[in-house]
Amino acid sequence: MTKDEFIKSIKKLRIDFEQNNENWENKTIPDYLEALERYTEDIQSYYDNTKQEINSEKADWKIFSDILIGASIYE
């Protein structure tokens, strides 16, 4: 993922919140940041479970994007 693609994913995330926030688990900044912290800790399990050959220890724009999106619904 490139930097521009990352920016587009953030825009999509913002638009999704504006249009579908009833589907978001974490609607406040504190709740979202807490989920962001926990999802970042668990992101490797997500990649392993979905059979993606991604090493979260070598972060790139795709991992940042996945973390931001995942935190919107992570419990």
Q: CB–CB of 41/34 below 8 Å?
A: no
- Residue 49 is assigned to a structural domain of this protein: yes
Count structural domains, the chain. 1
- Residue 35 is assigned to a structural domain of this protein: yes
Instruction: Copy the structure tokens of residue 28.
Output: 């406040």
This prediction's pTM: 0.72
Distance, CA of 1 to CA of 17 (rounded, Å): 22
- Residue 75 is assigned to a structural domain of this protein: no
pLDDT for the residue numbered 41:
93
Q: Which of 46, 25, 48 is nearest to 35 (CA)?
A: 25
pLDDT for the residue numbered 54:
92
Phi-psi map region of 59: left, alpha, beta (phi>0 left; psi -120 to 50 alpha) = beta
> What's the domain range around 62?
3-70
- Residue 51 is assigned to a structural domain of this protein: yes
Query: In a structure prediction context, what are the per-residue pLDDT tens digits for the chain, which is 75 residues long?
Result: 888 998 899 999 999 999 999 999 999 999 999 998 999 999 999 999 999 999 999 888 888 888 888 888 877
